[in-house]
Structure 1
Amino acid sequence: MSDEQDWRWDDLIERTRGRLGAMVEQFLARTMADPSYADSGLTAEDLRRASVESFSALLDSLRSDGTPSRLISIAESVGTRRARQAVPLESLLRAVRLDFTVLWEHLAEPSCDADPALLVRNAGRVWSTVDEFAAHVQEHYLAEQLAIEQANADLQRQYLSQLFAPTRPAEAALERIAGALRVSPSGNFCVAAVSRDDGVVVRRRFRGAARCAHAFFAYDMGHHTLFIWPTDEVALGRLSPPMKDLFADVAVAVAPVARGLARVRESAAAAREIMIDLPMDSSEVATLSDRWRSVTRHLLAGVGCDLGQIVFPYLERCTDLERRKILETVSTYLETGSLGDTGRVLKCHRNTVLNRLNAFEKYTGLDVQRPYDAAAVIIALEWQGTRP
């Protein structure tokens, strides 16, 4: 612009500065109508003070001799404070860009007697100044939000480490841990385990969902990452449909619901055992009800207890054909739980089924019509690859 145009633009800026109070009040009225601002920790006085500073710095920057240094400093302060006050970023940026609307309305106010051609020539300058301000606010908001999340994660790790310490926390320690994590010590908790690599992906999904609905804790334990969140569920662990989306396409082991913070340790141990038991190429949700037989078999093998030894050595006394028919009948019966259904599957009479089950009991001493014996035989058959 020419010197004369610069003078006329600077004069308009100063006349508009005389309307600063009206600009601030107009901005406040529109911004405080946003429920996100009303529900945050932001006070009207804080917003008013920040508005005065922001509009003053914007006007300074818009002068022909203006520099953005003060505006950038204010952007850092606004972005940092709004992150701490938990104002949603979308609402914050909407409010910052409202500066343009309010500022432009007052620049074009008839009482300022602005030349329309002068306004048109400077419209891009006004917009780019406000847009740059918004970009700096967003940058510092995100940096502060990341710092807050990191501090919260560090604090959570500290207290979760106490929860999972080798020595079980005492009642007073559990109360303290629950208070720090802002959960009820007597509440119910879901516990799930994924591989550490998948934990990075799931943690990111949880962060996105947590801002809307879910409070969660993530804790790395060796090769696995645990995810823990409060729940109203009291039944055997499973994932609700919304939670399944957070674990989509990854192998996840879900433990039975922990009834109370003190039981989270046991649920975590169960989730890890289920996870260890899953096949390498798995990408499914696995619960204790799905995997208890295989988990039990592996745990027993770890201490040298082969349940196959209570079945197969004793069947060596019968012929190969008799052994095959007995095992086929026992396996089918354990799948169906019914003599009649077993006979229909094997295409033999109900009495034939009963005779073979009796023969199995005669050889092994195990009656598969008794629940305790049946559970042992199920694991023994799986041990040898004879799936019941």
Structure 2
Amino acid sequence: MHSPGNTPATAAGSATVRSALLELLGDVDALATRFVAQVREVVPYSDGAVEVDRLQSDAVDTYERVFRRLVDLPVPERLVEASRELGRTRAHLDVPLAAVTAGTRLHFRIVWEVLAERLAPEGLAAAVTLPVQVWQAVEEHSTDVQVGYHEAATALAYARERDRHRIVDTFLESDGRDGTLLSGAAAVLGMDVEADVVCAVVPAGVAVPGVGRRTGLHVHPWRGGAVLLATEDSALRDVVCGVGPLARGLARVPRAVRVAEAVAAVLPSGATGPVRPPDVALALAARALGPLRADVAGDVLSQVLALPAPERDRLLETFDVYCATGSVAATAERSFCHRNTVLNRLRRLGECTGLDVTVPAQNAVLLLAVTAWRAGPPDAGRAQSEASAARRWAATAS
């Protein structure tokens, strides 16, 4: 129970005031009815946001608490909890906090009105501390109402955000064809179902500070990283992420996100901004090989991988530069060696792989194999890949 402090009757020593307060304590139903009539003139109570019976029962508890406080009687814990439950209930009914506060403070006016009706002007004037005490009693109730309201509002906000996340999660996992799911996702994302959407994925471990504050960008936590849905390419400026094809309508977003996720899985280590499929086409192709990745790399590069590491690295580095430039002379210049050295290394690479790097179709096969080897097998490290490739080559050679 709450301990009372000084009351008007005690402080002013007026038996008349105390008698009036006790009478009102016994007449809380009538006071509650008076309160309901007045509060129902306030929006949203005037729109029926709270049922009349609920308003009446809550007001009865409120006046019992207020008048117990005023006549120096203990306030039972049930009445304190009733004030908090009132706040929780209003939050669940989506009554704005400002309207709740206005309603609770209306009690002060009603209490003062009925005291003025029951006490002679000189008796009311003699109780000089009465207005303060009435205000304190109502304010204690109001404070507990706000505590309950904030408790419920916080829980509701969390639950609603969780539901919003669940809707978007389910939508992204879908094929985009479910009309109900599509409209739900459109509502959560604040996008039109026919809107063009730029879809991107930030992989786990990549920081995107401040990106959530950008206009026209929705950030959704996703598998340790985040899905970014934007209305303009500019919203992704300087964000290291994989970008899918433009989704022409929300129904195409799930597929675009899957493409973006695949791109994000093979982001270059030096990426400083958005990366699109053409930027990492080889890496995507190698990743698409799945469990065949090690086999393709091993079959094409088995003899190369069996070479001493220094020689192997020189051959592959020369190949990288040649693919980037398309020119033997440029490769020689970038590699700080004679053009004949470049030709010899490319010839040696051809001998080991059976592929002519100057023939585009054969060069593409070798590029894919090198990319697949560097990516490593899905469930093993590079060392295991090299070892297995070398064993296969040794078995073939023998």
* 1:94 alignment counterpart: 102
Q: Residue type of the partner of 2:110?
A: V
* 1:142 alignment counterpart: 150
Q: Residue type of the partner of 2:92?
A: R
Change (3 A) 1:152 1:19: closer
Q: Deviations over 1:255-286 (max 9, x none)?
A: 8875544323245457668988699998xxx7
State how far apart, in whole Å, the 2-side matches of 1:176 and 1:87 are. Answer: 28
* 2:120 alignment counterpart: 113
Change (3 A) 1:146 1:195: farther
% identical aligned pairs: 17
* 1:355 alignment counterpart: none
Give the counterpart of 1:69 among 70, 77, 85: 77
Q: Structure 1, unaligned stretches of length 5 or more?
A: 207-213, 321-364, 366-388
The answer to whether residue 230 in structure 2 is matched with residue 263 in structure 1 is no
Give the counterpart of 1:313 among 326, 334, 341: 326
State how far apart, in whole Å, the 2-side matches of 1:169 and 1:307 are. Answer: 39
Report if aligned partners of 2:241, 2:275 keep a CA contact under 8 Å in 1.
no
Q: Deviations over 1:43-78 (max 9, x none)?
A: 344334423332233223322224152431221221
Q: Deviations over 1:335-373 (max 9, x none)?
A: xxxxxxxxxxxxxxxxxxxxxxxxxxxxxx9xxxxxxxx
* 2:226 alignment counterpart: 225
Report if aligned partners of 2:68, 2:74 keep a CA contact under 8 Å in 1.
yes
Q: Residue type of the partner of 1:102?
A: I
The answer to whether residue 87 in structure 2 is matched with residue 79 in structure 1 is yes
Shift of 1:88: 1.5
State how far apart, in whole Å, the 1-side matches of 2:167 and 2:239 are. Answer: 27
* 1:125 alignment counterpart: 133
* 2:160 alignment counterpart: 152
Q: Deviations over 1:139-163 (max 9, x none)?
A: 2222222322333344444444433
TM-score of the pair, normalised by structure 2: 0.53
* 1:21 alignment counterpart: 30
State how far apart, in whole Å, the 2-side matches of 1:52 and 1:132 are. Answer: 16
1:225 partner SS:
strand
Q: Deviations over 1:173-213 (max 9, x none)?
A: x235346668499454866767889789888x89xxxxxxx
Q: Deviations over 1:275-306 (max 9, x none)?
A: 88699998xxx7xxxx456x642454555799
State how far apart, in whole Å, the 1-side matches of 2:270 and 2:126 are. Answer: 69
1:33 partner SS:
coil
State how far apart, in whole Å, the 2-side matches of 1:41 and 1:236 are. Answer: 40
The answer to whether residue 310 in structure 2 is matched with residue 297 in structure 1 is no
Report if aligned partners of 1:192, 1:255 keep a CA contact under 8 Å in 2.
yes
Change (3 A) 1:52 1:317: closer
State how far apart, in whole Å, the 1-side matches of 2:102 and 2:117 are. Answer: 26
State how far apart, in whole Å, the 2-side matches of 1:278 and 1:28 are. Answer: 69
Q: Deviations over 1:297-327 (max 9, x none)?
A: 245455579998566123727998xxxxxxx
Report if aligned partners of 2:21, 2:70 keep a CA contact under 8 Å in 1.
yes
Change (3 A) 1:5 1:272: farther
Q: Deviations over 1:229-274 (max 9, x none)?
A: xxxx9x64566xxxx9xx9x99899988755443232454576689
Report if aligned partners of 2:12, 2:128 keep a CA contact under 8 Å in 1.
no
1:86 partner SS:
coil
Q: Give RMSD over aligned pairs.
A: 5.1
* 2:379 alignment counterpart: none
Report if aligned partners of 2:263, 2:284 keep a CA contact under 8 Å in 1.
no
Change (3 A) 1:64 1:136: same
State how far apart, in whole Å, the 2-side matches of 1:39 and 1:127 are. Answer: 28
Change (3 A) 1:319 1:20: closer
Report if aligned partners of 2:28, 2:60 keep a CA contact under 8 Å in 1.
no
Change (3 A) 1:120 1:146: same
TM-score of the pair, normalised by structure 1: 0.54
State how far apart, in whole Å, the 2-side matches of 1:48 and 1:153 are. Answer: 33
State how far apart, in whole Å, the 2-side matches of 1:118 and 1:275 are. Answer: 78
